[in-house]
């Protein structure tokens, strides 16, 4: 009998759930669109039925499921297994997802913030496996972060419900308004949400048809469109300052960048490196290491699997 | 026979050296002015002779000295016992202070950055003993910092030589020039050096006689002098933003502020709290705790003693 875990990545639009063996091989993966009627979803119901489907499949293959791990964006209390506040999944707010899923799957269930799960995945099988201490950053709709110190994920002060929230560090006091309500956060500059809000706010591309995704803006920047180039320069600069500040505070010199919007690497890397070099007086430029994750979507799935293996 | 340690705090102008018992009582303390002729000092010579004096005194009192601990401002490699770079003590640069002092005292010697030593002192006998995870900040000529996670001092990535350098986080990109060479560091706003450089740069108080210390500026602010009030408002705001950013990244909610310039608390606290509250979207204002150290000068001496007790 093979041993494996069930690992899940709950995003704003989809649930991805996988059977992962203890060596970190993804054996089977399913992706389910979150059904929303009248704004609310049956998130937990869909999550449970997908989990049950995979557990049943595993039993036919003689695979023993040791536990379930799930990554969710937002403020999470991993020790309680509770979602405190999730901006993209308001239906999960206040719910003890661990307890609910555990009741139906008869397995121990562990949840954590999506960026922490990214960190565990990277540390296990990605770039993070090569360095002891590093700062992880996920660029997507928002900006997430995680902190790995001496090969261990730092989980924040007891019951605080957040850690590594580099996306909400103030980079420009009195700067552009962030989704969180305050001004000048990294996320207001270096996320898809931030880019699209800046485009709407400054009424950019109003004659040529509004840009509706970071990917489209990235393609524009690749073509040399000056507005898109400038937005990604600002993106990179804010990110570079944030990384420099993170290194300076944490006493680390490695950053690993993942998330869907990290695919725009080519158009923000120059200004990111320039800003990181010029804003970190503790390290010379050849002591600063910022790399792009190579795991892609798999980082979250592998990390949620590792969360189970680390916890049971 | 009583057991005790020798603990030292090397500042820019003085060496303070004490015999501290294992319960954290300062039994005897001496303060020696660093003699500088033609710009260089006999720092190590003075340090060794002071240490020998105290060890001899201890032996007459039947006190056994277990080891020597020393805090020094600058980039320190604690594992090697080496001063990498000390801005105020250039004569110590590159020197293996641990080895040199150990040869003459026949004791194990441990050194660390002065802010880390402050952190150990606070965690042992100060405000830090009441909380598990916190950010420490020392306000003086410059701004130092330390990070305590789950009651343990985080010492940074292996051999990196710095950690918790909150003073060199960029608070205002393109802001005021810092002593480190880059722009907009916390230290450029919230330290004695920063205040005095701003006064010189903007040619403030040129008619009434230049202000030469943070203390004099503080007294001016207490009298309601608008320039001094404004400088300390900027001081507090920069400090509040830095603390909010530290909390957001680290996932902590407690800060302890020490160092000589923390005595100006009354004139910067309002803008510090305002800025911390408005720049931390992860915590509500009643979840944010910033307190002033009550140990004063003793924090460093106690911390250097604890460094020995933790190391032997």
pLDDT digits (tens, 9 = 90+) for B135-163: 999 999 999 999 999 999 999 999 898 99
Which residues of chain B does A244 touch, with a Cβ-Cβ cutoff of 8 Å? 170
Q: Does pLDDT of B39 surpass 70?
A: no
Q: Are both B2-119+298-311 and B130-292 of the same fold?
A: yes
CA gap A311, A5 in Å, rounded: 12
Of B166, B241, B252, the CB nearest to A173: B241
Q: Across the A/B interface, how many CB contacts are shorter than 8 Å?
A: 129
pLDDT band of residue B41 (cuts 50, 70, 90) is: low
Instruction: Mutation target for A interface from B112, B165, B184, B187: give the one with most A CBs within 10 A.
Output: B165
Q: Hey, are the CB atoms on A249 and B252 less than 8 Å from each other?
A: no
Taking CA–CA distances from A242, the nearest residue in chain B reads B170
Of A156, A178, A281, the CB nearest to B251: A156
Could you tell me the sign of the dihedral formed by the alpha carbons of A10, A16, A20, A25, in that order?
Answer: negative
Please provide the average confidence, as pLDDT, over all residues in chain A: 94
Q: What is the pLDDT of residue B208?
A: 76
How many angstroms separate the CA of residue A162 from the nearest CA in chain B?
Answer: 6
CA gap A238, A175 in Å, rounded: 11
Q: Which residues contact B224 (CB under 8 A, 6 or more apart)?
A: none
Q: Hey, are the CB atoms on A133 and B156 less than 8 Å from each other?
A: yes
Q: Which residues contact A307 (CB under 8 A, 6 or more apart)?
A: A7, A69, A71, A110, A112, A117, A120
The structural domains of chain A, with segments of one domain joined by +, span: 2-119+298-311, 130-292
Which residues of chain B does A279 touch, with a Cβ-Cβ cutoff of 8 Å? 170, 173, 182
Least confident of A75-84, A140-149, B127-136: A75-84
The topology (CATH level 3) of A2-119+298-311 is Nucleotidyltransferase; domain 5 (3.30.420)
Q: Hey, are the CB atoms on B251 and A157 less than 8 Å from each other?
A: yes
Q: What is the pLDDT of residue A39?
A: 56
Mean pLDDT of B219-228: 97
Q: Hey, are the CB atoms on A282 and B168 less than 8 Å from each other?
A: yes
Q: Hey, are the CB atoms on A182 and B145 less than 8 Å from each other?
A: no
Q: Does pLDDT of B36 surpass 90?
A: no
Q: What is the pLDDT of residue A235?
A: 98
DSSP state letters, A35-47? PEETTEE-HHHHH
Q: Which among A9, A29, A32 has a CA at the least distance from the CA of A21? A: A29
Mean pLDDT of A2-17: 92
pLDDT band of residue B96 (cuts 50, 70, 90) is: very high
For chain B, list residues whose CB is within 8 angstroms of any CB belonging to chain A: 75, 132-133, 145, 147, 149, 154-158, 160, 162-166, 168-173, 178, 180-182, 185, 237, 241, 244-246, 248-254, 278-282
User: For strand A134-139 and strand A143-149, is the pairing parallel, antiparallel, or unpaired?
Assistant: antiparallel
CATH number of A130-292: 3.30.420.40
Taking CA–CA distances from B245, the nearest residue in chain A reads A169
User: For strand B143-149 and strand B152-153, is the pairing parallel, antiparallel, or unpaired?
Assistant: antiparallel
Q: Does pLDDT of B273 surpass 60?
A: yes
Q: Could you tell me the pTM of the whole model?
A: 0.95
pLDDT band of residue A174 (cuts 50, 70, 90) is: very high
């Amino acid at each position: 009998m093979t041993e494996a875990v069930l690992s899940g990545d709950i995003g704003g639009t989809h649930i991805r759930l996988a059977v992962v063996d203890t060596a970190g091989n993804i054996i089977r993966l399913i992706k389910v669109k979150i059904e929303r009627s009248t704004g609310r979803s049956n998130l937990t119901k869909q999550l449970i039925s997908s989990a049950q489907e995979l557990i049943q499949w595993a039993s036919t293959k003689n695979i023993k499921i040791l536990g379930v791990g799930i990554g969710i964006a937002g403020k999470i209390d991993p020790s309680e297994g509770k979602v405190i506040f999730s901006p993209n999944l308001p239906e999960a707010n206040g719910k003890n997802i661990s307890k609910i899923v555990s009741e139906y799957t008869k397995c121990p269930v562990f949840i954590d913030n999506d960026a922490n799960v990214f960190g565990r995945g990277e540390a296990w099988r990605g770039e993070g496996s090569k360095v002891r201490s590093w700062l992880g950053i996920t660029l997507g709709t928002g900006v997430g972060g995680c902190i790995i110190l001496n090969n261990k994920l730092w989980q924040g002060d007891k019951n605080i419900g957040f850690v590594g929230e580099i996306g909400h560090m103030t980079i420009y006091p009195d700067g552009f308004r962030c989704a969180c309500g305050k001004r000048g956060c990294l996320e207001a500059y270096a996320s898809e949400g931030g880019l699209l809000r800046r485009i709407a706010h400054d009424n950019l591309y109003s004659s040529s048809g509004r840009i509706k995704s970071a990917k489209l803006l990235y393609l524009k920047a690749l073509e040399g469109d000056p507005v898109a180039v400038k937005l990604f320069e600002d993106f990179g600069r804010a990110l570079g300052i944030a990384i420099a500040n993170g290194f300076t505070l944490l006493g680390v010199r490695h950053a690993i960048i993942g998330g869907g919007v990290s695919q725009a690497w080519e158009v923000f890397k120059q200004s990111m490196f320039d800003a990181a070099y010029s804003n970190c007086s503790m390290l010379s430029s050849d002591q600063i290491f910022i790399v792009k994750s190579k795991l892609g979507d798999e980082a979250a799935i592998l990390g949620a699997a590792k969360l189970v293996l680390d916890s049971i």
